[in-house]
């Protein structure tokens, strides 16, 4: 039995809504993710996927239930958890290398040492030669690479990815899906990846957790045993894609 | 020419060429109007103004030569403006970053904000007399408002996602302040510095009209008193050029500090 890295026990989250009502976003979510497992959380458009990420990251507190990461209860933002954002959230005033080295710099790591690991991750995500560029000069796919390198460089034990490829065009998206698997295989981490794209989920995941719409709860789970690298148009891929797709709630 | 640039003024040299051409055009039209129309009865020609400016570098207007007048005004502006920067940026940041600071300072600031710098002239004279101090005060008050306001907006408009990202990477409150809040406010601060700079130029003219025996504002006022249009224009042209130079210096500094905002290859 491998180690459980992310454990959510019965977490719910409500926000105060208009005229004193409460809006329940997450309802009784329990999940556990093992070390180095690649789990994709798949849910329809407007459900509380980002809220789930924020709760695990410690950026928000659940209304009830609790979250532990690597055995530690989460009560505040914790650098042991890396986050990759949909809108990249890169610091626009920092170059690629300073963005990637931000976490180590906050920890007070010495410059020489920092430079070495920063370069390692820039090379790993395929951005060699762009060390001194500012984010504004990079394409959407390259910015996501910086975001991934920045999260990796802080050496977290788990990575949360919040629809990181949602804003990319279709071709770049396929490329980045391949890249994220390649990077993960080169440097194993526990990954929780959120998406609303069934094909992306089937391509990436060891396990897919399907969420319902608001209030969000877990509908079902799929283990994905297809060998990597996966073929988007193989028969097994397409049939699993159909099964997963059928499990998704239809909402207008 | 590359097909990419649709605008006619494409490259940097072209922009400079157009600027020079536009200025030359302006002076030629002015010259022609003075030479051939009734404008000549109320306005000196640009050539006369330039000649008078050159002459006044050696022959004093009043008690001082033109460069000395300019230096006096410049000193007043820079001292008043620097005071405004030293006060304005910290106050704006206090208001933008700390809720307590905002709750305390903002109501007071909102009362002072609509009062133009020039409305402070009587109080400035009562408090500081008619010497240099009252001029610094008026210039400082005039410039501080927009510096405070823009710094405040900048500090307030920090993207919460970036703050969250910094926290997730292990930044504490102080590090978030230094590495996220401040750099993301810099463009707003510069906008405030630019507006503040032009406000302080306006204020120096008014301040020198109170009571002074030198400065570009004094040149204009005494020119008016003696009906000397050339002298008025000397003052105005000097103010225009010095203002332009100061604003460009500031823009250069901004460009250097904000390379990250410049799009392109």
Task: Please answer whether residues B198 and B142 qualify as being in contact, where contact means their C-beta atoms are separated by less than 8 angstroms.
Answer: no
pLDDT band at residue B6 using 50, 70 and 90 as cut-offs? very low
The CA-CA-CA angle for residues B65, B67, B71, to 5°, reads 120
DSSP for B51-63, written as a single string: HHHHHTTTSPBTT
Say how far apart CA B121 and CA A25 lie, in whole Å: 58
Assess if residue B173 is contained within a domain.
yes
* C-beta atoms of B168 and A77 within 8 A: yes
Omega into B244 within 30° of 0, i.e. cis? no
Does residue B262 surpass a pLDDT of 60? Answer: yes
Q: SS3 of B126, please? A: helix
Does residue A51 surpass a pLDDT of 70? Answer: yes
pLDDT band at residue B264 using 50, 70 and 90 as cut-offs? low
What six digits make up the tokens of A220?
């079902």
Assess if residue B240 is contained within a domain.
yes
Assess if residue B216 is contained within a domain.
yes
Burial of A115 (0-12, 13-18, 19+ CB in 10 A): middle
**Average pLDDT value for residue range B238-245:** 90
Burial of A129 (0-12, 13-18, 19+ CB in 10 A): exposed
Instruction: For residue B92, give the nearest of B155, B31, B39 by alpha carbon.
Output: B155
**pLDDT for position A145:** 95
Does residue B210 surpass a pLDDT of 80? Answer: no
* Chain A residues near residue B169 by CB distance under 8 angstroms: 79, 102-103, 106, 150, 154
Q: What is the CATH number of the domain that holds B246?
A: 1.10.3720.10
Cα radius of gyration rounded to whole Å, chain A: 18
* C-beta atoms of B168 and A59 within 8 A: yes
Q: SS3 of A174, please? A: helix
pLDDT band at residue B15 using 50, 70 and 90 as cut-offs? confident
Assess if residue B61 is contained within a domain.
no
What six digits make up the tokens of B3?
């097909």
Among residues 100-119 of chain A, which lie with CB inside 8 Å of chain B? 102-103, 106-107
* C-beta atoms of B167 and A81 within 8 A: no
For chain A, domains (ranges, CATH) are: 4-80+157-247 (3.40.50.300), 91-155 (no CATH)
**pLDDT for position B5:** 43
Does residue B156 surpass a pLDDT of 60? Answer: yes
Domain extent, residue B172, equals 69-257
Say how far apart CA B59 and CA B106 lie, in whole Å: 50
Separation in Å, CA of A20 to nearest CA in chain B: 25
Domain count for chain B: 1
């Amino acid at each position: 039995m491998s180690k459980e890295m992310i454990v959510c026990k019965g977490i719910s989250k409500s926000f105060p809504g208009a005229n004193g009502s409460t809006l329940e976003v997450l309802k009784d979510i329990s999940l556990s993710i093992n070390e180095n497992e690649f789990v994709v959380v798949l849910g329809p458009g407007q459900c509380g996927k980002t809220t789930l990420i924020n709760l695990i990251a410690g950026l928000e507190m659940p209304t009830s239930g609790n979250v532990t990461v690597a055995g530690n209860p989460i009560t505040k933002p914790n650098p042991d958890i890396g986050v990759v954002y949909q809108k990249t959230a890169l610091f626009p005033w920092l170059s690629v290398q300073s963005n990637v080295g931000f976490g180590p710099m906050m920890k007070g790591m010495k410059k020489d040492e920092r430079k070495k690991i920063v370069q390692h991750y820039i090379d790993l995500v395929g951005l060699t030669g762009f060390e001194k560029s500012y984010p504004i000069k990079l394409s959407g796919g390259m910015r996501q690479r910086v975001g991934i390198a920045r999260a990796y460089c802080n050496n977290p034990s788990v990575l949360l990815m919040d629809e990181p490829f949602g804003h990319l065009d279709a071709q770049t998206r396929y490329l980045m899906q391949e890249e994220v698997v390649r990077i993960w295989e080169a440097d194993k981490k526990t990954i929780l990846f959120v998406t609303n794209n069934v094909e992306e989920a089937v391509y990436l995941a060891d396990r897919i957790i399907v969420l319902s719409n608001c209030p969000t709860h877990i509908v079902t789970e799929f283990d994905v045993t297809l060998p990597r690298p996966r073929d988007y148009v193989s028969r097994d891929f397409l049939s699993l894609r159909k099964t997963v797709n059928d499990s998704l709630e239809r909402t207008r | 020419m590359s097909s990419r640039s649709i605008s006619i003024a494409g490259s940097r040299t072209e922009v400079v060429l157009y600027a020079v051409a536009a200025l030359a055009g302006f002076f030629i039209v002015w010259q022609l109007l003075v030479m051939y129309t009734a404008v000549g009865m109320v306005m000196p020609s640009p050539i006369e103004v330039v000649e008078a400016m050159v002459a006044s570098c050696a022959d004093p207007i009043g008690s001082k030569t033109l460069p000395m007048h300019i230096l006096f005004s410049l000193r007043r502006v820079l001292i008043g403006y620097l005071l405004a920067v030293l006060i304005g940026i910290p106050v704006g940041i206090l208001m933008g970053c700390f809720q307590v600071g905002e709750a305390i300072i903002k109501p007071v600031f909102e009362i002072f904000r609509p009062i133009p710098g020039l409305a402070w002239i009587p109080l400035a004279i009562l408090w500081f007399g008619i010497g240099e101090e009252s001029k610094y005060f008026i210039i400082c008050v005039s410039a501080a408002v927009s510096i405070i306001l823009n710094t405040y907006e900048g500090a307030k408009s920090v993207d919460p996602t970036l703050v969250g990202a910094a926290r997730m990477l292990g930044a504490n409150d102080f590090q978030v302040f230094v590495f996220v809040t401040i750099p993301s406010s810099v463009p707003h601060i510069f906008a405030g510095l630019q507006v503040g700079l032009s406000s302080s130029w306006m204020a120096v003219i008014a301040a020198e009209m109170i009571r002074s025996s030198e400065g570009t504002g004094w040149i204009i006022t005494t020119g008016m008193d003696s009906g000397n249009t050339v002298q008025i224009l000397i003052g105005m042209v000097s103010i225009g050029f010095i203002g332009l130079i100061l604003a460009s210096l500031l823009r250069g500094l901004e460009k250097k500090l904000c390379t990250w905002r410049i799009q392109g290859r």
